[in-house]
Every structure is written in C-alpha cells, then in structure tokens.
A and B are shown apart, each in its own frame.
Chain A
Amino acid sequence: MDKVYVLLMGFISIVIVNNLVFTKFLGICPYLGVSGRLDMAFGMGMAVTFVITLAGTLTWLIDNLILMPYGLEVTRYVCYILVIAGAVQLVEMYLRKFFPPLYESFGIFLPLITTNCAILGLCLFVNLWGIDNFPEAAVLSFGAGIGFTLAICIMAGIRENLNIADVPDSLKGAPITLITAGLLTLAFMGFAGMIK
C-alpha cells in the first residue's frame, strides 16, 4: 500500500507541483512556439508524452544496468541523447506507417522533439533525484509527459484568446507569451508544498 502511495504522490507531484515547464524551465521552446492552437498543442503533448515515457524508462535501465555497474557514468550524456534520438525515430516511423493523418499534422515537430529539453531534462532529473526503483522511474517519466501536455494545452487555450485581445504592438508575439507564462507559473506556485 505504501508503495502505491509513493507512486501516486510522485505522479501528482511531477504533473502539478514540480511541473517541468513551470518550475524547471524545461521544454520552453515548443511551449512558446507550438502552442498557438489547442488541437496542435494536444497532439504535440501526446507525442512528447510517448517519447518521454519511452526515453525515461530506457535511460533509467541503461543507467542502472550498464553504466553504473561498469563505472561508465562519464558517457551518460552521450548515451541519453542517443536513446532519445532513437526513440524519436521509432515514433516517427510508427506514426508514418499507422497514423498517416496524425503524421501529416505534426510531422514537422517530430524531429524537434529530439531537441526538446523536457525529455533530456527528465532523464537527468530522474538520475539526480536518485530514483532507485523501476516503477517509480516509469511513473515519473509518464507523469512528466502529462505535465508537459497540461502546460502546453493551458498555454494554447490562453493564446487562442490572446489573438483577439488588444496587446501593445511591441509586446505582440513572443513577449506577451512570456509574460503570460510568468503569470501561469505564479499560479502554479500555489501548489508548492502540497505534497510532503
């Protein structure tokens, strides 16, 4: 029972309290670039969730089964980025074969996922937090993806409305998006300390 509790708390914590976008600044590029339309943002979020779950669990396994026992920690970053690039390729091929319409709609973003900081960041943080069991690593990876989707969808919803708002000329585009993002992080700070 305790184990389930820890996993559940870990999940809620990474989705809301320690959301990667709002507290660790990870995945800002797509967060600002793509999140103009809600449906697009959701698709992107789903793709990231899939890749991040795959990459998070795989890197954890590689780290604990290969790198640490043999003292190869120094090659950690190289291994991580190769795993992520491989996972992205896999998703791209899978989508092209089985969901062509979906592939058409966010095909251009897929290569970009490789350079999405949220994914490499999550892998690094899982290592940094010293997560030492497989279920927790898997749940955290999945939760991070859901958290990213949540953030990017909220942002897309706001930006759809911002388009019809009267924004000063020089603040249009990226600046007002950043300021909105700032206010959002302020709102999400209210969740801090919720989970002990």
Chain B
Amino acid sequence: MENKAPSISKVFAAGLWQENPVLRLLLGMCPTLAVTTAVKPALTMGLSVIFVLFCSNIVVSLMRNLLKPHLRILMFTLAIATFVTIADLFLRAFQPEMSAVLGPYVPLIIVNCIIICRAEACASKNGLFISIIDAIGMGIGFTVVLCILGGIRELLATGMIFEIKVMPSFFVPWAAMRMPVGAFITLGLILGLVNFVTGKKT
C-alpha cells in the first residue's frame, strides 16, 4: 500500500462497490439501521458522515508522519469527535427538524466504524489527495446504500418518497417497515441480493 500509489479512479470505485462500507465491509451498521425510516433522514445522515469522513481523513493524512503509534487511536477519536460536534451544531442551527429526528444518532457517528477504519487503513498511510478521494468515495457509497434502504422502507411504510405520495390509493402501508424489524429484514434481503448478483459464496 505504501509503495505504489493506487490510481484515483480505483480508490473512488472501491468505496462505491468493491469495498462498499455497508454492503461489503459491514461497517457502520448502527446508523444504517436506525435512521433509515425515510429518505430524508438517511440523506442527512449520509451527508454528515461524508463531512466528518472528509475532514478527519484530511487531518489524519496531514499529520500521519508525526503520529506516535500508541497515541494514534486517541488522536483519531479526538479529531472525529471534534468534527462530529461541529456537524451536530450545524444541524441544530440550520436543520432543527432533522436534528430532532436523528437525535443521538448524530453524535453516534463518532463510533461509526467506517470513519476510524478509513483513518487507520487509508488516511494514515496515504497522501492528502488519495485520502480525500477515498473519503468521498466511501462517503458516497455509504450514503447511496442508506438512501436505498430509506427509500424502500419509506415507500412500504407510508407509500411515500420524500414525503410525496407515489403508491396507488389502495396500498395499505406496512407499519412494520418503520419499526426495527423492517430495518433488519430489508438490509438482510439487500445483502442477500448483492451476494446473489455477484455470485459470492461465503
């Protein structure tokens, strides 16, 4: 990893598909399941994660040569917690409704494994540019999955997408999709589908 610089398009695509944080690495499950009751909170969550991932990757990448190994994780956590606090303040100031819906799941981005994992696996070993590309790729990969999951759940639970009614009037909403059970089963089936498409045998 340290010797040869990976190509930019490869790094970007890895986050979207081959190493998609949710579908392939099974990271960041907690927000994935909790905030996907509808598309809007899912999108807000995704954007917040992109912001935090972007900033923390930059900071970690800049100070990667100064880091002492045993203080590494502490440093990462400190940086991440700072940016999460800023993201949380931003949401509370400019998106109060979304902030109320997401509640404690915004600060929980701190312990989202994706961010610390990318800091450790990519940003602490690569230069600034690669780290930024990696953050964007991973962030978008995460956001897209979140929105798909949120879309399916919102559609089935309320018959609406982005709070606009799309299902025919005879459609009876499945309230269960808005409860925890809906999150688990939908994600399970999506993962199964991805495995089926790629023909991956585990």
Residues of A within 8 A of B (CB): 22-29, 32-33, 74-75, 77-78, 80-82, 85, 111, 114-117, 119-121, 124-125, 128, 168-179, 181-183, 185-186, 189
Task: Identify which of A74, A80, A179 contacts B189 (C-beta below 8 A).
Answer: A179
| A-B contacts, 24 listed (Cβ < 8 Å) | A27-B30, A28-B33, A77-B81, A77-B88, A77-B107, A114-B73, A114-B77, A114-B111, A120-B107, A120-B111, A124-B107, A124-B108, A128-B104, A171-B188, A176-B192, A178-B187, A178-B191, A179-B184, A179-B185, A179-B188, A182-B180, A182-B183, A185-B181, A189-B179
Cβ-defined contact, A29 with B185, below 8 A = no
Task: Count residues of chain B with CB under 8 A from any CB of chain A.
Answer: 44
Is the beta-carbon distance between A182 and B185 smaller than 8 angstroms? Answer: yes
* CB pair A25 B191 closer than 8 Å: no
Residue of B nearest to A178 (CB): B188
Q: Beyond A29-B30, A114-B77, A185-B179, list 17 extra A-B contacts (CB 8 Å).
A: A25-B29, A29-B29, A78-B78, A81-B77, A115-B111, A115-B113, A117-B108, A121-B30, A124-B107, A170-B195, A170-B200, A173-B202, A176-B192, A178-B184, A181-B184, A182-B183, A182-B184
Alpha-carbon distance A174/B180, docked complex (angstroms): 17
Pairs A-B, 10 closest by C-beta atoms:
A182-B184, A178-B188, A170-B196, A179-B188, A182-B185, A175-B192, A28-B29, A25-B34, A170-B195, A124-B104
Question: CA of A128 to CA of B191 in the docked complex: distance in angstroms?
Answer: 33
Q: Is the interface of B mostly helix, strand, loop or mixed?
A: helix
Report yes or no: A78 in contact with B81, Cβ–Cβ below 8 A.
yes
Is A85 touching B180 in the complex (CB atoms < 8 A)? Answer: no
B27 CB within 8 Å of chain A: yes
Contact (A25, B110) CB under 8 Å given A32-B29, A85-B77, A111-B73 = no
Which residues of B10-50 have CB atoms within 8 Å of chain A's CB atoms? 26-27, 29-30, 33-34
Contact partners of A82 in chain B: CB under 8 A:
77-78, 81
Which residues of A have CB within 8 Å of B30? 25-29, 117, 121
Specify which of A29, A74, A182 lies most central, judged by the most chain B CB atoms within 10 Å of its CB: A182
Min CB distance A6 to B, Å, is 23
Identity of the chain A residue whose Cβ is nearest the Cβ of B196 in the assembled complex: A170
Shortest Cβ distance from residue A117 to the other chain B in the assembled complex, whole angstroms:
4
Q: Are B181 and A81 in contact (CB under 8 A)?
A: no
A181 to B181 CA separation, bound complex (whole angstroms): 8
Whole-angstrom distance from the CB of B124 to the nearest CB of chain A?
A: 15
Structural contact, A182 and B181, CB atoms closer than 8 A: yes
Residue pair B181, A186 in contact (C-beta under 8 Å):
yes
Q: In B151-202, which residues have CB < 8 Å from any A CB?
A: 176, 179-185, 187-189, 191-193, 195-196, 200-202
